[in-house]
Structure 1
Amino acid sequence: MTTTAPLKILIGADTYPPDINGAAQFGHRLAQAMHERGHEVHVVAANPDEKKTEDRVVDGIVEHRLFSYRPPTHPYIRICTPWGIWAEVGRLLDRVRPDVVHVQCHYIVGRVLVLQAKRRGIRIVATNHFMPENLDPFLPFPRWFNDAFARFSWGDMRRILERADVVTTPTPIAAKAMKESGHFRRPVIPVSNGIQSSDYELHANESIPSDPEHLRIFFAGRLAIEKNIDVLIEAVSKLPQELNTVVLEVAGTGEILEKLQAKATECGVYDRVKFLGYVSDEELRAGYLRADVFCQPGTAELQSLVTLEAMSASKPLVLANALALPHLVREGENGFLFEPGNSSDLAQRLAQVLLLSPAERRRMGTVSHEMVKKHAAQKTWETFESLYTSNELYDRFVAGLDRS
């Protein structure tokens, strides 16, 4: 339970379950955690089912689902239009009268909530889970246009998020990236997405069926361009001969599935790449536990919840040396970093782990498990509760920056 008086919290999410991605997952976990801690929780998000606005209660959380559309560039994401939800969001804030609005993005739902909450003097906490590059798959335009849009998006992000009382992002590296974009004038405080490690640990007397014939590489996440899964598939084809029975398991769905299947065929490893599709929480946990190494080749990760989950399951890591991923690796101790986009380097790093003895891989996994403790979910929820009521924690953070 919470150590603060119960609050009325309204979470604004541009992506929320049934969407499958890290930001949607975090928004859902945040809502559940705050409800379990005794707060009244409301969520504002696009309606995934029909072109209508409706309210519903799911596991004690009030979901306000807004009239939305499916863009032609994505198979499942739904989007709202600012003009389509402006009045409804205003009426919703007047009806619910939240103590705090916590937006997870600045694009549409987050944008309208920030502007409408600011008008009403409601406290605003804003968390940035996105990099402008995350939009590339949805912008079917030339590279020069997408680069120009990314620069605009950084400025737009600042114009919206700096209206909030506090701005957070999952990692120090992500906060640094926001600062170095040249747009953010106020400090951004890093607050981990948090992880409940016990959800991914082996239970007492639980064992994972062994398969001495096949070592396993595991990837979990949305099948999207910026995840660079094609690089991982190519790396599997470049593993040394003694690892020619290694299996790559890919858990997740997304817009580039057919392209990845074609890539596996082109590389001659289609029989060793298992596309698992959407998996339940139980199946995802089992995937981590049976894996010999977890790989995240993505280059736009502001934290990577799936990597924290793999670390909780005590797995060695091979991660792209990009954005927030390097701070999850102690080189040679719990895994390795590879040059982003370089399938040969990735193959070499994967081989370094897979050619170890099982005992050596377990030792690396133990280091991963120890490292993930600082991302304990309990600390994350307590931090946000503090930020929901005052700027004290934020002011201490800024004071620490000034002293450094």
Structure 2
Amino acid sequence: MKVALLIDNLNSGGAQRQIVNLAIGLKAEGADVTVITYTLGEHFQDELRHHQIDLSAIARPSKFKTFLGVFSEIKRLQPDVVCAYMFVPSLMALLTKIFFWRPKVFVSERFIEHLMTDWAKPYCRALYPLAAGIIANSQTQAEILKKKLPMLRARIRHIPNCVDTDTFKPAHELAISPGTLKMIGVGRLTEYKNVKVLIEAVRMLHFDRKLPVSMKWVGREYEERGVENTYYVECVNAVNEKGLSGIWTWEGQQKGLAELYRTSDVLVHPSYGEGFPNVVCEALATGTPVIASNVIDHPMIIQEGHNGFLFDPHNAQELADKITTFFKMPPATRLAMKENSRLTATRYFSREVMIGSYLEFFRKA
């Protein structure tokens, strides 16, 4: 099977992480895979090279010429399947289908409905009848799509994200570190990540409850290249104004996430909503429990007291309470949570499970 995977760039985003996982998994199953991009971003480029996966980067002098470049590349490759992540790449893939009928085109929506503000969404969805399949990485979004597009219900499939459980794995021996509770948050700094509620919760823990805690936030600090991220600036100012600069660090974009999870006690993921969070799967795979907002698919992943806790994302007090509960757990209970976290990831989010679902969909659609 010859497969072209289309996405805007290889920046450090969740969709980029998953399309790289898909490329690696498909190649391991014997597929001939090429990844096509058309804007700057090289965070995952070395990983593709390591696995000897072809990368075709289209120059972008203008939007029209970008489409012509993508169209020409797909026509040159003659793939059996084109799979595009996100609306603009999906729109390009579906327009290509009009002029070049051969490949099956699959499109993937990676966010939850109310967060999808992309200009291309209505145009892309108008062309969904041309798609062989429509993939949502969250069960919630798959159900929303089935209601919005009842005529295409049979073509809509929920395929959750995967994690490389060989890279994201616990330390050789699971253990609980005494003393300071080391918390980590991961994600690009945007409003829907809800970092300000986390900042207020950390203030309560540090000043009101006198708990020994530390916080690392890992993720790129710019919205787009060369554009200041005002939300990040606001968060930095909030940390400083609340007197937390001694216990809160901004780590920026990082590649060694597995080790950062392993050296943390808990991932705190306060997002208002997204598709299916990579960081939750990655943390669980390393045996790191997760305290996550009670939204979207999080309740399907996190079981209270089993592998983490859930909280109202609008309630800093409740978040502080859940962190306090975790901190005060006996070591044996926290160790069991670490073991349960790893088991959740290996059972539901392995690369083999995701690739099997994609291959079945590609072949049967």
Q: Matches of 2:181 and 2:82 in 1, distance apart?
A: 46
Kindly indicate whether residue 359 of structure 2 is the aligned counterpart of residue 381 of structure 1: no
- Aligned counterpart, 1:252: 219
Q: Is the 8 Å Cα contact of residues 137 and 158 (structure 2) preserved in structure 1?
A: yes
For 2:106 and 2:275, how far apart are their aligned partners in 1?
A: 18
Aligned position for 2:65: 84
Q: Residue deviations 1:253-296, cap 9 Å, x none?
A: 12333222111112221211111112223xx1122112221111
Task: Tell me how far 1:211 sits from its aligned partner.
Answer: 5.6
Is the alpha carbon distance of 1:106 and 1:47 closer, same or farther for their aligned partners in structure 2, counting shifts above 3 Å?
Answer: closer
Paired amino acid for 2:55: E
Larger RCO: 1 or 2 (CA < 8 Å, sep 6+):
2
Aligned residue for 1:249, secondary structure, equals strand
Which residue number corresponds to residue 6 of structure 2? 12
- Comparing 171-180 with 220-229, which one deviates more in the overlay? 171-180
* 1:112-132 deviations in Å (ceiling 9; x for gaps): 111112432221111111345
Distance 1:237 1:184 in 2: 47
Q: CA RMSD in A?
A: 2.5
Pairing partner for 1:330 from 303, 313, 319 = 303
CA distance in 2: counterparts of 1:273 and 1:162, whole angstroms:
48
CA separation of 1:91 and 1:129: change in aligned 2, threshold 3 A: same
1:58 equivalent in alignment to 2:32: no
362 and 231 in structure 1: CA distance in 2 versus 1, 3 angstrom threshold:
same
Provide the residue aligned with 1:215 in structure 2: 181
- Hey, what's the Cα distance between the residues in 1 that align with 2:127 and 2:299? 29
Instruction: Please tell me whether the aligned partners of residues 245 and 272 of structure 1 are also in contact (alpha carbons under 8 angstroms).
Output: no
Cα offset, 1:90, TM superposition: 2.3
Residue 68 of structure 1 pairs with residue 60 of structure 2: yes
Q: Contact 1:102–1:126 at 8 Å: present in 2 too?
A: yes
TM-score (norm 2): 0.86
1:164 paired residue among 121, 131, 135: 131
Give the AA of the match of 2:239: A
TM value normalised by structure 1: 0.78
**Do the aligned partners of residues 266 and 36 (structure 1) sit closer, same or farther apart at CA in structure 2, a change above 3 Å counting?**
same
Percentage of pairs with the same residue: 21
Letter of the structure 2 residue corresponding to residue 30 of structure 1: L
Partner of 1:200: 168
The equivalences for 1:324-403 within 5 A come to: 324-372=297-345, 373-391=347-365
Stretches of 4+ moved more than 6 A in 1? none
Query: Which residue identity lines up with residue 186 of structure 1 in the other structure?
Result: L
Once the two structures are TM-superposed, the CA of residue 164 in structure 1 deviates from its matched residue by 0.9
The gaps in structure 1 that reach 5 residues or longer are 1-6, 51-56, 70-79, 136-148, 392-404
Distance 1:226 1:184, change over 3 A: farther
Alignment of 1:122-141 (within 5 A): 122-131=103-112, 133-134=114-115
The equivalences for 1:110-149 within 5 A come to 110-121=90-101, 122-131=103-112, 133-134=114-115
Amino acid at match of 1:112: M
| Residue equivalent to 2:45 | none
Give the C-alpha shift of residue 171 in structure 1: 2.5
The one-letter amino acid paired with 2:357 is T
Q: Give structure 2 stretches of 5+ with no counterpart.
A: 43-47, 222-228
Count of residue correspondences: 346
Tell me, yes or no, if the aligned pair for 1:125 and 1:387 is still in contact at 8 Å.
Answer: no
Q: 1:125-168: per-residue Cα shift (whole Å, max 9, x none)?
A: 11111345546xxxxxxxxxxxxx67x86644522334211111
Q: Deviations over 1:322-362 (max 9, x none)?
A: 11222111123222211122211111111111121222111
Residue 83 (structure 2) pairs with residue 106 (structure 1): no
Q: Using the TM superposition, give the Cα deviation of residue 375 of structure 1 relative to its aligned residue in structure 2, in angstroms.
A: 1.8
Deviation at 1:320, TM superposition (A): 0.7
Work out whether residues 158 and 184 of structure 1, in 8 Å CA contact, stay in contact via their aligned partners in 2: no
Maintained 8 Å contact 2:90/2:108? no
Match of 1:400 in 2: none
